[in-house]
């Protein structure tokens, strides 16, 4: 199984916070991930939304940043003494209790969650990295509200899933 090394929450939080500061000091670019999906999906689209504003240039830092992230995940797993790098369909013991047994049906449920995140992030103007980690650190009221509502939404769907399907 994927038993990657996990630090204590506060250590991980400090590390992620320092990372966000490092990136900002280095590049004047605040942390953010969700827009990069528009760089990728927009490349194959003629819609004006994917040609203007944030997407005026699709080959930008966001694209290269999101290309790097999976490599970092791979290195994290490869450098964990007890982790084997194997592809797994499992989501873990907790989620697998409430998700469909069929791998493909489970994938559809997760994809539905992804669609809500992609649409929601653009509607709200950011995701967990942009609004919560970067935006809340600026004490931006919009980001504090978004972050609070992300938690409300997560509470709603997880409580629903485990109340109905457990």
Partner 1 sequence: MKYSFIFLGILFGFLLSRAGATTFDNYAQLFLFQDFQLLWVILFAIIVGALGMLYFSRIGGLSLFGKEALTFDKKPMKAGLVKGSLLFGIGWGIAGSCPGTAPAMLGEGKIMAVFSIIGIAIGTYIYGYRASKIN
Question: Quick check: 88 binds partner 1 (CB under 8 A)?
Answer: yes
| Choice from 81, 82, 87, 164 touching partner 1 (CB under 8 A) | 87
| Choice from 56, 86, 101, 164 touching partner 1 (CB under 8 A) | 86
| Choice from 72, 81, 101, 164 touching partner 1 (CB under 8 A) | 72
Question: Quick check: 20 binds partner 1 (CB under 8 A)?
Answer: yes
111 near 17, Cβ under 8 Å? no
Binding residue count for partner 1, defined by CB under 8 A: 126
Shortest gap between Cβ of 22 and partner 1 (angstroms)? Answer: 8
Question: Quick check: 100 binds partner 1 (CB under 8 A)?
Answer: no
| Choice from 100, 102, 154, 165 touching partner 1 (CB under 8 A) | 154
| Choice from 81, 100, 101, 136 touching partner 1 (CB under 8 A) | 136
Question: Quick check: 23 binds partner 1 (CB under 8 A)?
Answer: yes
Q: Cα-atom radius of gyration of the chain, to the nearest Å? A: 18
Question: Quick check: 159 binds partner 1 (CB under 8 A)?
Answer: yes
| Choice from 56, 81, 141, 164 touching partner 1 (CB under 8 A) | 141
Instruction: Count Cβ atoms within 10 A of the Cβ of residue 62 and give its class: 0-12 exposed, 13-18 middle, 19 or more buried.
Output: buried
Instruction: Count Cβ atoms within 10 A of the Cβ of residue 137 and give its class: 0-12 exposed, 13-18 middle, 19 or more buried.
Output: middle
Distances in Å between the Cα of 104 and the Cα atoms of 18, 122, 166 are 38, 27, 19
In 3D, which of 36, 31, 34 has the Cα closest to residue 17?
A: 31
90 near 6, Cβ under 8 Å? no
Question: Quick check: 123 binds partner 1 (CB under 8 A)?
Answer: yes
How many angstroms separate the CA atoms of 163 and 22, rounded?
42
């Amino acid at each position: 199984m994927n038993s990657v090394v996990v630090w204590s929450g506060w250590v991980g939080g400090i590390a992620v916070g320092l990372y966000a500061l490092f990136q900002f000091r280095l590049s004047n670019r605040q942390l953010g991930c969700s827009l990069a999906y528009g760089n990728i999906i927009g490349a194959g689209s003629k819609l004006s939304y994917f040609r203007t504003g944030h997407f005026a240039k699709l080959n930008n830092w966001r694209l290269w940043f999101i290309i790097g992230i999976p490599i970092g995940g791979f290195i994290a797993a490869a450098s964990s003494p007890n982790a084997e790098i194997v592809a797994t369909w499992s989501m873990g013991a907790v989620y697998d209790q409430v998700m469909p047994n069929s791998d493909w049906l489970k994938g559809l449920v997760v994809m539905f969650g992804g669609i809500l995140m992609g649409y929601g992030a653009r509607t709200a103007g950011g995701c967990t990295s942009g609004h919560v980690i970067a935006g809340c650190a600026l004490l931006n009221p919009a980001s504090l509200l978004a972050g609070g509502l992300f938690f409300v939404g997560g509470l709603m769907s997880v409580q629903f899933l485990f109340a109905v399907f457990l």
